[in-house]
Amino acid sequence: MENETIKTDLMRGKRGIILGVANERSLAWGIAQQLHNAGAEIAFTYFDKIDKLEDKVRKLADSIGSQHVLPCNVADDKSIANVMDTLGKEWGQIDFIVHSIAFADKDELTGRFLHTSRHNFHVSLDASAYSFIAVLSAAHEYLAKDATALTLTYLGGPRVVPNYNLMGVAKAALESSVRYLAADLGPEGIRVNAISAGPVKTVAAMGIGGFRDMLKHHEQTAPSRQATTKEHVGKAGLYLLSSLSEGVTGEIHYVDGGANILGSSLG
Ligand code: NAD
Ligand code: 0WE
């Protein structure tokens, strides 16, 4: 159900950080809404290189009573450290982290993959995959004994999706990082998972050629015959970040209406 939120106390007393809200359509905001309704206290970061993002994120944070809005560029270690040190010291410990960030030069999301530039490869893998490692590394000393971390990925990582190109390679690195981080942090009780979402119309999806057709195709062929929504993603996020998923780590959890099932397009 589109605007339904789950009311539980699953996250009461838990404090965490969400990186990657741009506006009310962001998948990160869908997760924030569900966590807030489950009682979590949330800090937000915004990408300070984008104009007016601070105002937008502050407004959204205010609407759920969040006191903490900080700038963060995940391509900059100092910027990440400032966020973790500020919140780690203020809260004493951090219970959860949501990483909902991806970037590739627009030119790489169309045309021949063969022509991917070295510079764009570096920039995209850095912002979209390495940044998850960097964020957890900087947060590590503050993470609670049973802390959870979540990132967002897409089917174009493990499979070839036309035009996803360089972002697919970045998501493959991100998904592998989820498994290695889960293995590394598991002995400390920290869990690390990803949600692989179906296409959702967000800022990151706008301006991508043929996206509208992708959405339509998805809705007509996925077994659920539903478009993926930020509410679907938010509810799965609540599961993966809360004790409901105790024992689940290193997983790539598909929230795509079953669109990755072979033959789903046979309708
Ligand atoms: P979005 O545009 O709302 O979120 C992307 C965020 O990344 C923005 O807030 C942007 O400011 C941030 N960002 C980019 N570069 C950054 C940097 N250097 N430092 C800090 N922040 C930076 O779009 P979204 O669709 O909600 O994307 C969130 C995540 O979900 C991404 O990882 C994306 O790959 C993934 N995802 C999206 C879809 C979809 O169809 N929308 C599907 C599956 C997965
Ligand atoms: O991860 C994404 C998109 C991420 C993204 C989007 C942009 C657009 C604007 C990363 N970098 C940029 N850079 C920009 O300049 N998705 C999962 C959404 C998406 O993007 C596609 C898709 C899908 C789905 C691109 C091609 C094909 C399918």
Tell me, what's the pLDDT at 3? 58
Specify whether 164 is catalytic. yes
Tell me, what's the pLDDT at 6? 66
Instruction: Please determine, for residue 224, whether its predicted confidence score (pLDDT) is greater than 60.
Output: yes
Among the listed residues 164, 180, 239, 254, the single catalytic one is: 164
Euclidean distance between CA atoms 181 and 141, whole angstroms: 15
Q: With contact defined as beta carbons under 8 Å apart, do 175 and 158 qualify? A: yes
Instruction: Please determine, for residue 267, whether its predicted confidence score (pLDDT) is greater than 50.
Output: no
Q: With contact defined as beta carbons under 8 Å apart, do 227 and 212 qualify? A: no
Full-model pTM:
0.97
Tell me, what's the pLDDT at 245? 98
Phi, psi of 81 (to 5 degrees): -60, -40
115 Cβ contact list (under 8 Å, min separation 6) = none
pLDDT tens-place string over residues 126-173: 999 999 999 999 999 999 999 999 999 999 999 999 999 999 999 999
Q: With contact defined as beta carbons under 8 Å apart, do 20 and 233 qualify? A: no
Tell me, what's the pLDDT at 209? 85
Tell me, what's the pLDDT at 7? 77
Which numbered atom of ligand 1 lies nearest the CA of 25?
Answer: 3
Q: With contact defined as beta carbons under 8 Å apart, do 148 and 191 qualify? A: yes
Q: What angle do CA 135, 69, 122 make, to 5 degrees?
A: 35
Distances in whole angstroms, Cα of residue 183 to Cα of each of 107, 186, 195, 248, 254 = 35, 5, 18, 12, 20
Which numbered atom of ligand 1 lies nearest the CA of 50?
Answer: 11
Euclidean distance between CA atoms 19 and 68, whole angstroms: 12
Specify whether 154 is catalytic. yes
Euclidean distance between CA atoms 213 and 36, whole angstroms: 33
Taking Cα atoms as reference points, which of 45, 36, 145 lies closest to residue 86? 45
Q: With contact defined as beta carbons under 8 Å apart, do 58 and 69 qualify? A: yes
Tell me, what's the pLDDT at 157? 98
pLDDT tens-place string over residues 46-105: 999 888 999 999 999 999 999 999 999 999 999 999 999 999 999 999 999 999 999 999
pLDDT tens-place string over residues 3-18: 566 678 999 999 999 9
pLDDT tens-place string over residues 252-262: 999 999 998 87
Average predicted confidence (pLDDT) for the chain: 95
* Centroid of ligand 1 to alpha carbon of 101 (angstroms): 4
Phi, psi of 266 (to 5 degrees): -80, -10
Residue 253, classed as helix, strand or coil, is strand
Q: Is the CB of 104 under 6 A from ligand 2?
A: yes
Phi, psi of 105 (to 5 degrees): -55, 135
